[in-house]
Structure 1
Amino acid sequence: MNINRILTIVLVAASLFLAFRLYRGVQGTIEDREAIQNTENAVIARLKLIREAEIVFQEVNKRYTANWDSLSNFIENGKVPNIQRREEITQVGYGQEIVKVFFDTLGYTPAKERIFKKNFTMNASDNGVFMGYKVKNGDRVIKNQKAYTLKVGDKMQEVPFQEQGVITALASVATGTEVKKGELLVNYWDYAFEPNVDLKKIGEVPGLDGQKFNIFIGKVDKNGVMVQVIEVRDPKPVNPMRKESNEAKGRKPLHFGSKFDVTTSGNWESQ
């Protein structure tokens, strides 16, 4: 074997090795980005759940809580009153009236159901003749699945669901009946959050081995009234680009709420 052939083999081997190193470097970067995105998605999902739980907790108790055990216990065992607002108007003179507002409690909903379940309605999409449902009560439906048929003029319209969920009620409308646009036809619901989440670990940051979110609860002066505020923040972002020093809100560590403003918006919603 002459020297040229040996050099050729060495150069080919070196080229293949460098190409492999380059491929692994690029592939590793892609995998790292995917891992960061997946972890951030899990963190955002947990922050959304905490936010909804805190909002309902505040609705019932007139305050937020910084105690994760209290929040977990509320989700598992708490009850949320179903309040109906009504008015009584009494005429007391020409052009004058007294309005009394009453709030009636019409039973209670378990806190977990209120937090985890999202209710949807489906109305008639247009004025027309109702030609029948394509689903039945109790069915689980998917987005864009056909819900009912409506005859508008000479055309038949099969109207799709805009969300997935489980049918809880179908309005009693006979085939051939005229319906008006906006008339309620379907009630259904779906989970807003993963129903099997371990609520005892609700305060833990996904991917941080038991480390918990930083939570702050305080009060700010709003036009002379002290109003409670809340902020829940990821203490150790998996994304090294997320820093508190970043000017853009969407590039700061993931969080919702504010120590200084009356808001529960999440900074991922501003990206």
Structure 2
Amino acid sequence: MSKTKIVSVVMLVVWVSLAVFLVYSIKSSIDEAKRIERAEARIIEQLKMIREAEIAYMSVNGQYTSDWDKLLAFVDTGKFYLTEKSETIITLPYGKDSVVVDIDTLGTVPVMDSLFKASKWPRFNLATLPYVPGTEPPVKFDVWADKISKAGLFVNAIEVKNPRPVDPSRDEDSEYNTKKPLRFGSRTSVTTAGNWE
């Protein structure tokens, strides 16, 4: 066998090995991106369920809660009051109007039946609501709820975030909110928007 053939065979093996390596590395990075996308979609779904529960808790109790036990008990056994509001306008003798507002309570609806129907949230499970999906050992979402001062008034605020991001590029110190760990709400403003929206 001549030197040229030996060099050609060696170069062919090197090129084939390099091509296989490149294909494998590109495929593995695509597969990892898809895995992260699927995991984050599940986490976002869980955050949306928590947001619905917190907003419902706020509407009934007048504040958000950072206590998972209270939130879970509320979702499990809490009730919404069904009310009917009617207004009567009475014209007073001196030309002004007086408005009388009557609010009648018609009944109650369980929070669980109202918010977490299987048709809307097929993966809803009350026992796993506080936990970040796909983490081993299980990790709870960080929840913060308190009052903050805005324009001289104290208003309710909430923030719920994933303490263990699936995507390694998500960093709490990032200047872009969309690159921070998945969350909804804020400790500094009155919002329940998620940073994925």
After TM superposition, the score normalised by the length of structure 1 is: 0.67
SS at match of 1:107: strand
C-alpha deviation, 1:76, in angstroms: 2.1
1:116 to 1:227, Cα distance in 2 relative to 1, 3 A? same
Structure 2: distance between partners of 1:101 and 1:221: 31
Alignment of 1:169-184 (within 5 A): none
Determine if contact 1:69/1:200 at 8 Å carries over to the other structure: no
Larger proportion of strand: 1
User: Which residue in 2 is equivalent to 1:202?
Assistant: 129
Q: Distance in 2 between matches of 1:220 and 1:47?
A: 22
**Secondary structure of the corresponding residue to residue 139 of structure 2:** coil
Deviation at residue 198 of structure 1 after TM alignment: 2.3
- Residue 54 of structure 2 is aligned to residue 54 of structure 1: yes
Counterpart of 1:96, as a letter, is K
1:119-148 CA-to-partner distances (Å, cap 9, x unmatched) read xxxxxxxxxxxxxxxxxxxxxxxxxxxxxx
Q: Which amino acid aligns with 2:92?
A: V
Task: Indicate the SS of the match to 1:105.
Answer: strand
CA RMSD of aligned residues (A): 1.8
Distance 2:177 2:86 in 1: 41
**Which of 99, 124, 149 is residue 221 of structure 1 equivalent to?**
149
Whole-angstrom distance in 2 between the partners of 1:102 and 1:259? 37
Which one of 240, 247, 263 corresponds to residue 168 of structure 2?
240
Q: 1:91·1:98 contact (CA, 8 Å) conserved in 2?
A: yes
Kindly report which structure 2 residues correspond to 1:24-103, keeping only aligned pairs within 5 A, or say none: 24-103=24-103
Percent sequence identity over aligned pairs: 38
Note closer, same or farther for the CA distance 1:198–1:263 as it changes in structure 2 (3 Å cut).
Answer: same
Deviations 1:144-163 (A, max 9, x none): xxxxxxxxxxxxxxxxxxxx
Aligned partner letter, 1:63: Q
State the distance in 2 between where 1:114 and 1:66 align.
Answer: 22
Q: Does the 8 Å CA contact 1:68/1:202 hold for their aligned counterparts?
A: no
Letter of the structure 2 residue corresponding to residue 24 of structure 1: Y
Q: Describe the SS at the equivalent of 2:92.
A: strand
1:70 Cα deviation (Å)?
2.2
Superposed CA deviations along residues 60-99 of structure 1, whole A, max 9, x for unmatched, are 1222121222222222222111122211221112531111
Indicate conservation of the 8 Å contact 2:132/2:141, yes or no: yes
The alpha carbon displacement at 1:38 in A equals 1.0
Q: Which residue of 2 aligns with 1:132?
A: none
Deviation at 1:17, TM superposition (A): 1.1
Q: C-alpha separation between the residues in 2 aligned to 1:43 and 1:205?
A: 6
Output the CA distance in 1 between the equivalents of 2:152 and 2:22.
Answer: 62
Q: Residue 40 of structure 1: CA displacement?
A: 1.0
| Runs of 4+ that moved beyond 4 A | none
The one-letter amino acid of 1:10's match is V
Counterpart Cα distance in 2 of 1:221 and 1:15: 65
Q: Deviation of residue 53 (structure 1)? A: 0.5
Deviation at 1:22, TM superposition (A): 0.5
The CA distance in 1 between the partners of 2:133 and 2:175, in whole Å, is 25
Preserved CA contact (<8 Å) 2:64 2:146: no
Match of 1:166 in 2: none
Greater mean alpha carbon deviation, residues 37-46 or residues 75-84: 75-84
Partner residue, 2:105: 105
Equivalent-residue separation in structure 1 for 2:152 and 2:101 (angstroms): 25
**8 Å CA contact 1:227, 1:262 repeated in 2:** yes
Range 68-77 or range 20-29, more displaced:
68-77
The answer for the alignment partner of 1:131 in structure 2 is none
Report the secondary structure of 1:98's partner residue: strand
**Worse-matched range after superposition: 102-111 or 16-25:** 102-111
Q: 3-state SS of the aligned residue for 1:250?
A: helix
